Amino acid sequence: MSTFLGLLGHRLTNLPPALAANCTSLALGTPSSPPGQKITATSPCHPKHRGRPSSIAGTMLFAGTFGLAAMSLFQLLSMRTFLTLLFGGPEPANRYIREFLRSAGGRAHLDATLSAAEAAGRAAMARDWRYCGLFCPFFGVFAAGLPEEVLKYLPAATVRWWRARKLAKVTAAAASTKGQEKNGENEKEEGKEEADKVVSMSPLEFVNYTVAAGIGFAVFENIGMIWGSVEGGSSVAELAWLLVERSLSALPGHVLCAALSGVRDSSTRRRRGGGGGGGLVDMMNAILPSVVYHGVFDSALLGVSALDGHPGWVRPASPWVLAGTYAMVFAMQGALFLNVRAAWRTETQPLENKAE
């Protein structure tokens, strides 16, 4: 049984067969204890390598509350600054922001409350080349994509930095007692046990943290969107459609972008042998594809809505345009999913196989 579990686990995890037997039996709930093999806190398959549930939950809560509040403030300030520069003054910028926020009420509410003159003026604002051609890409990439992907990345990077620092302190303390004669062996064993309690972050755990941040941000963002629609006067049908729309587009998009950043970061560190890095360049290398996906996604949706005559996001009136928009969204999510899967498969391959 141990041999079978070892071979199965080796195929799934690329760990040595003897250790993989323990990992696989742990996952399947079957007893397996090959002689001399023991799952310790430093074993690659130890549950701690998946992340503590309380820490994962805390990451979700932080990203969805403080993170979302910070992103909302940043986006509002960046929108106002860029629109002021783009249109030559604060008044046009404030007008665009008001129309942006008014879009939260949905098409039915806008059709019921806007006069013909207001609708025409709103359409002219949305179809202005400066808004369509400059502001929408700016907002998608620099006001939404970049800061939100940084937000999803930072909690995992912070936990990894803190844990590496703590592990270095424990290791240094254990090394300092190595040559002491008094209780030397006991102190050495205590230092080793203390070091075993501090686990370096595995690729899976790093991805779990980034995905947790993505889920927390997306869930609370959806709640905020729905609340804004309620305040904007949306009907029950509009709210139901918005809930389905956000659940099928925004939530998977945020999670997949976060996963891609986590896998790319882990791959970079693995090629280095697990150490070094962690700076701004490494962060940008990890999140850049996610920023591009995120930016193109948001820019395209804003552009479709603008051509339909609305600043912000309002569902297109034409069923054909709406179907094409949904097809674009799901195609991008499919491409993102395939990218994440390919990156993870590359990450879990033995390094010697990559050169072949």
For 185-214, the pLDDT digits (tens) are: 555 555 555 544 555 677 888 899 999 999
Distance CA 194, CA 168 (A): 12
CA angle 40, 44, 47 (to 5 degrees): 65
- The answer to whether residue 344 scores a pLDDT higher than 80 is yes
pTM: 0.80
Question: Can you give the residue range of the structural domain that contains 283?
Answer: 49-161+202-347
pLDDT of res. 215? 95
Pairwise pLDDT comparison (177 vs 354), residue with the higher score: 177
pLDDT digits (tens, 9 = 90+) for 274-312: 655 568 888 999 999 999 999 999 999 999 999 999 999
pLDDT of res. 36? 45
pLDDT band at 25, cuts 50/70/90? very low
pLDDT of res. 179? 54
326 in any annotated domain: yes
pLDDT of res. 37? 47
Give yes or no: residues 32 and 111 share one domain. Answer: no
- The answer to whether residue 273 scores a pLDDT higher than 50 is yes
- The answer to whether residue 110 scores a pLDDT higher than 70 is yes
Give yes or no: residues 142 and 11 share one domain. Answer: no
303 in any annotated domain: yes
Give yes or no: residues 133 and 26 share one domain. Answer: no
Residue 38 CB partners (closer than 8 Å, separation 6+): 22
Distance CA 356, CA 352 (A): 7
The token duo for 58 is: 């805390």
Query: Domain tally for the chain?
Result: 2
The token duo for 285 is: 């290398």
Pairwise pLDDT comparison (311 vs 235), residue with the higher score: 311
Average confidence (pLDDT) over 128-134 = 94
Across 25-29, 233-237, 322-326, which has the greatest mean pLDDT? 322-326
Give the torsion sign (CA, 174, 177, 181, 182): negative
* Lowest mean pLDDT segment, chosen from 92-96, 151-155, 192-196, 313-317: 192-196
Q: 183-214: b or e for each residue (b if 16 or more CB lie within 10 Å)? A: eeeebbeebeeebeebbebbbbbbbbbbbbbb
220 in any annotated domain: yes
Written as one letter, the residue type at 35 is: P
Average confidence (pLDDT) over 155-176 = 81
170 in any annotated domain: no
Determine contact, residues 267/347, Cβ cutoff 8 Å.
yes
184 in any annotated domain: no
CA angle 260, 64, 220 (to 5 degrees): 100
CA-based Rg of the chain, rounded to a whole angstrom? 25
189 in any annotated domain: no
CA-based diameter of the chain, in Å? 90
Q: Smallest Cα–Cα separation from 221: which of 123, 75, 33? A: 75
Average confidence (pLDDT) over 330-352 = 81
**At 33, phi and psi to the nearest 5?**
-135, 80
Give yes or no: residues 103 and 250 share one domain. Answer: yes
Average confidence (pLDDT) over 234-259 = 88
